Structure 1
């Protein structure tokens, strides 16, 4: 059985290492991007089954990553956005651009795993 591939775009190295470890423990293959530009490159070259992206990142924001995946690449893969800036306007914009889910930081890695399983079941 092939493992589901996830692109994780997070510029906080501590959080990205924690999430990578937790998701790999669940059996997912995790490709980490340190900024939005790298996230887009990983999505184009590795064709992941899901994208997890922080909103506030260097080069491209998480919102720009969502827009690029939906409008330029025309991909319908699940995208979960997360941010410590949980303003309603940002959440609505993420959903309007095509994000499938939104999580406010800080969040539990266990909650993320539960949300992921909804998309892969």
Structure 2
């Protein structure tokens, strides 16, 4: 069975490494993008099974990544967005653009694993 590929778009390298370790332990293959531009490149070249993206990133935001995925590439890849507290408006925008789930930072990696599994069933 091939591993499910997850793209993580997150500019915080400490969080990226923690999530990479935790998700690889569950048997997923992880691709890490440091910003939205890298995320879009990975989506085109790697066609991940799931996308985890922070809303606030340098250059291209998580919202722009979702918009590109849904409108330009016309893909229905599941997306979970992360956001720091107090960004309700951004979160609503993310859902309007087609995000499937949302987690407020800081969040539990174990909870993330459960949400990932649910979307990849």
User: RMSD across aligned C-alpha pairs, in angstroms?
Assistant: 0.8
Please give the alpha-carbon distance, in whole angstroms, between the structure 2 residues aligned to 1:96 and 1:85.
19
Please give the alpha-carbon distance, in whole angstroms, between the structure 1 residues aligned to 2:40 and 2:85.
22
Question: Unaligned regions of 5+ residues in structure 2, if any?
Answer: none
Match of 1:93 in 2: 93
Structure 1 contact 9–52 (Cα < 8 Å) conserved: yes
Please give the alpha-carbon distance, in whole angstroms, between the structure 1 residues aligned to 2:8 and 2:88.
23
Q: TM-score, normalised by structure 2?
A: 0.97
Match of 2:60 in 1: 60
Task: Report how many residues are paired.
Answer: 121
Mapping of residues 6-85 of structure 1, within 5 Å: 6-85=6-85
Please give the alpha-carbon distance, in whole angstroms, between the structure 1 residues aligned to 2:70 and 2:78.
10
Question: Unaligned regions of 5+ residues in structure 1, if any?
Answer: none
Please give the alpha-carbon distance, in whole angstroms, between the structure 2 residues aligned to 1:19 and 1:38.
18
Structure 2 contact 82–105 (Cα < 8 Å) conserved: yes
Q: TM-score, normalised by structure 1?
A: 0.97
CA-to-partner distance for each residue in 1:32-75, whole Å, 9 max, x for gaps? Answer: 00000000000000000010000110110000000000000000
After the TM superposition, list the runs of 4 or more consecutive aligned residues in structure 1 that deviate by more than 3 angstroms: none
Structure 2 contact 10–32 (Cα < 8 Å) conserved: yes
What SS is found at the alignment partner of 1:32?
strand
